[in-house]
């Protein structure tokens, strides 16, 4: 039975049998015992299912990944040590040296750096396009060696809503998948697979955990993208893997399992960016209340945005859930119940005014964090995006005056009163 998102948040992924623990057990073990080397050999060859070493798979992590998989409506999922690792794996699983990827220019600064600096050193080229680019500009970004398109449902911190259907259409016309980082919306507010995306990633560190407890990431495959239609484009999935005795992932695991099995068997084996079972347990506690928290985060954001829009010291406000926001129609299409709890705005007076304002806030703490039960704020141009030059900052939608204000679960009235007093300078 396909339950609703609320039920999946609470009960998805883990189904204990008679007399088994009601809560997901924390399997705090690096390794697993077997009676014979032959059995162990079968596990190594991916001929049998089972656990052998927690760098690759662990029962606690798998149960939580299975829950997120159900929430997104996918066929397979894996947890990673962070959102950075999830985005790296998601792309590197299908794009290597000599390949090319099209990405939205407004993606999170850490992902932008991963792509434009670190993965560039690995031989993967990226073309960044504005999420507002014309169809012609989007088409022109593709090359014969393009292997994927990447974007964020709601960009961090510019809060630009991606037209997922349009980007999915372009990706599919060029025979490549659309990878969507769904961190800010969460599957409670948007399920990108329903709009044509093929792979979804998350920094579970944000709303999914929701309490600032554990850094983590997740990758989910929709199982819908047919890698075998152009096998020469995706040799890693469609030709034998010599490091696994010549198995071909698409043949052995089908479209439903090939992508995640390859990412686990190769990338997790070689890079080891695993999430700890303790962290996965904490993540699951967050997931159990995600559907209750998200509406409140969104409600607080709209109230805060409404106050800011009317304040004389505020230059501009971005909150796509606000009915007067220019992105409202697009946001309603993909996220009819609200976008997220983050509001971005500019304080008149630029960078200096932004810093003075933030220093005067009493409830919102200045943190390199976002999407948490406790309200926090950040000046991205001095923090998460400080590695960008001015042109890149403009392309990312991150002006020097931008304040990223992440509404927590406190009283909206108290947040507004705090903002009001902080603006009195
Ligand atoms: C949209 C988005 N993706 C990915 C990341 C990276 O996640 P993590 O910090 O868990 O590595 C972040 C972090 O802020 C993010 O906001």
This prediction has a pTM of 0.97
- The Cβ of residue 256 has, within 10 Å, a number of other Cβ atoms equal to 15
Pocket test for ligand 1, best of 186, 205, 369 (most atoms within 8 A of CB): 205
E strand spans, 350-401 = 365-366, 376-378
Q: Looking at the CA of residue 152, tell me the nearest atom of ligand 1.
A: 1
Q: Looking at the CA of residue 111, tell me the nearest atom of ligand 1.
A: 4
β-pair partners for 346: 316, 402
Pairing mode of beta strands 178-181, 217-221: unpaired
- The Cβ of residue 407 has, within 10 Å, a number of other Cβ atoms equal to 28
- Name which of 55, 91, 86 is nearest 272 in CA terms: 55
Query: Cα of 378 to ligand 1 centre, how many Å?
Result: 14
267 Cβ neighbours under 8 A, 6+ residues apart: 89, 92, 93, 273
Pocket test for ligand 1, best of 87, 108, 273 (most atoms within 8 A of CB): 108
> Coil, strand, or helix at residue 171?
helix
Query: Cα of 112 to ligand 1 centre, how many Å?
Result: 11
Query: Cα of 134 to ligand 1 centre, how many Å?
Result: 27
Query: Cα of 45 to ligand 1 centre, how many Å?
Result: 33
237 Cβ neighbours under 8 A, 6+ residues apart: 94, 227, 248, 249, 250, 258, 259, 262
Q: Looking at the CA of residue 183, tell me the nearest atom of ligand 1.
A: 1
Pocket test for ligand 1, best of 79, 156, 377 (most atoms within 8 A of CB): 156
Query: Cα of 254 to ligand 1 centre, how many Å?
Result: 30
- The Cβ of residue 44 has, within 10 Å, a number of other Cβ atoms equal to 14
Sign of the four-CA dihedral 49, 50, 56, 57: positive
Indicate the length of the chain as a whole number: 425
What's the topology of domain 291-422? Answer: 3.90.1150
Q: Looking at the CA of residue 184, tell me the nearest atom of ligand 1.
A: 1
Q: Is 232 exposed, middle or buried (0-12, 13-18, 19+ CB in 10 A)?
A: exposed
Query: Cα of 179 to ligand 1 centre, how many Å?
Result: 15
Q: Where are the domains of the chain?
A: 5-285, 291-422
Q: Is 176 exposed, middle or buried (0-12, 13-18, 19+ CB in 10 A)?
A: buried
Q: How far apart are CA 316 and CA 347, in angstroms?
A: 8
The yes or no reply on domain 5-285 and CATH 3.40.640.10 is yes
Q: How far apart are CA 130 and CA 302, in angstroms?
A: 25
323-356 burial by CB neighbour count: b if 16+ within 10 A, else e? eebebbebbbebbeebbbbbbbbbbeeebebbbe
Tokens representing 87? Answer: 């985005």
- The Cβ of residue 35 has, within 10 Å, a number of other Cβ atoms equal to 7
Rounded alpha-carbon distances, angstroms, from residue 401 to 320, 323, 355, 379, 398: 19, 23, 9, 8, 8
CATH topology agreement for domains 5-285 and 291-422: no
pLDDT in the model for residue 46: 84
> Coil, strand, or helix at residue 342?
strand
Q: How far apart are CA 401 and CA 385, in angstroms?
A: 13
Phi-psi region of 159 (alpha: psi -120 to 50; beta: other; left: phi over 0): left
Q: Looking at the CA of residue 215, tell me the nearest atom of ligand 1.
A: 10
Q: Looking at the CA of residue 85, tell me the nearest atom of ligand 1.
A: 11
Q: In what order do the strands lie in the sheet with 402-406?
A: 314-318, 342-347, 402-406, 376-378, 365-366
Query: Cα of 108 to ligand 1 centre, how many Å?
Result: 7
Q: Phi and psi for 398 in degrees, rounded to 5? A: -115, 90
6-22 burial by CB neighbour count: b if 16+ within 10 A, else e? eebbeebbbeeeeeeee
The set of protein residues with a Cβ atom below 6 angstroms from ligand 1 is: 82-84, 87, 108, 110-111, 152, 156, 181, 183-184, 203, 205, 215, 217
Q: Looking at the CA of residue 155, tell me the nearest atom of ligand 1.
A: 1
Where the chain has pLDDT below 50, the residues are: none
pLDDT in the model for residue 166: 98
SS3 readout for 277-307: HHHHHHHHHHHCCHHHHHHHHHHHHHHHHHH
Nearest-5° angle of CA 85, CA 88, CA 93? Answer: 120
200 Cβ neighbours under 8 A, 6+ residues apart: 72, 74, 179, 180, 181, 182, 187, 192, 193, 219, 220, 222
Q: Tens digit of pLDDT for each residue in 166-213? A: 999 999 999 999 999 999 999 999 999 999 999 999 999 999 999 999
pLDDT in the model for residue 389: 79
Instruction: Annotate 18-61 with DSSP letters as a single string.
Output: TTS-SSPP----SB---S-HHHHHHHHTTSS----BTTT--HHH
- What DSSP element (H or E) covers 181? strand 178-181
pLDDT in the model for residue 45: 83
pLDDT in the model for residue 25: 98
- Name which of 118, 381, 319, 86 is nearest 206 in CA terms: 86
Pocket test for ligand 1, best of 86, 179, 183, 376 (most atoms within 8 A of CB): 183
């Amino acid at each position: 039975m396909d339950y609703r998102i609320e039920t999946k948040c609470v009960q998805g992924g883990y189904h204990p049998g008679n007399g088994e623990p009601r809560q997901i057990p924390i399997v705090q073990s690096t390794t697993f015992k077997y009676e014979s080397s032959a059995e162990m050999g079968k596990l190594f060859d991916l001929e049998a299912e089972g656990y052998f070493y927690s760098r690759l798979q662990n029962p606690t992590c798998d149960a939580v990944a299975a829950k997120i998989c159900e929430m997104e409506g996918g066929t397979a999922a894996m947890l990673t040590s962070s959102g950075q690792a999830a985005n790296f794996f998601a792309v590197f699983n299908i794009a290597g040296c000599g390949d090319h990827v099209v990405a939205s220019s407004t993606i999170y600064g850490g992902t932008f750096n991963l792509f434009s600096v670190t993965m560039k050193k690995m031989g993967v080229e990226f073309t960044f396009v504005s999420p507002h680019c014309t169809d012609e500009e989007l088409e022109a970004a593709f090359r014969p060696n393009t292997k994927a398109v990447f974007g964020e449902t709601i960009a961090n911190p510019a809060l630009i809503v991606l037209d997922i259907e349009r980007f999915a259409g372009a990706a599919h016309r060029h025979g490549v998948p659309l990878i969507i980082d769904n961190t800010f919306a969460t599957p409670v507010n948007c399920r990108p697979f329903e709009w044509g995306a093929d792979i979804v990633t998350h920094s579970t560190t944000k709303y999914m955990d929701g309490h600032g407890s554990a850094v983590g990431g997740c990758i989910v495959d929709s199982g819908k993208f047919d890698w075998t239609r152009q096998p020469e484009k995706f040799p890693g999935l469609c030709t034998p893997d010599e490091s696994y005795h010549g198995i071909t992932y698409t043949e052995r695991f089908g479209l439903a399992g090939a992508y995640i099995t390859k990412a686990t068997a190769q990338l997790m084996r070689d890079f080891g960016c695993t999430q700890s079972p303790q962290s996965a347990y904490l993540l699951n506690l967050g997931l159990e209340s995600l559907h209750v928290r998200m509406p409140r985060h969104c409600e607080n954001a709209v109230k805060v945005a409404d106050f800011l829009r009317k304040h004389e010291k505020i230059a501009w406000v971005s909150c796509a859930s606000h009915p007067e926001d220019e992105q409202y129609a697009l946001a309603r299409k993909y996220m009819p119940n609200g976008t997220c709890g983050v509001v971005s705005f500019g304080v008149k007076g630029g960078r200096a005014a932004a810093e003075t304002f933030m220093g005067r806030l009493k409830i919102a703490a200045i943190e390199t964090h976002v999407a948490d039960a406790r309200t926090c704020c950040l000046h991205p141009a001095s923090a998460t995006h400080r590695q960008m030059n001015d042109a890149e900052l403009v392309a990312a939608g991150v002006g020097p005056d931008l304040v990223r204000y992440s509404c927590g679960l406190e009283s909206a009235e108290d947040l507004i009163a705090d903002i009001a007093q902080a603006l009195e300078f």
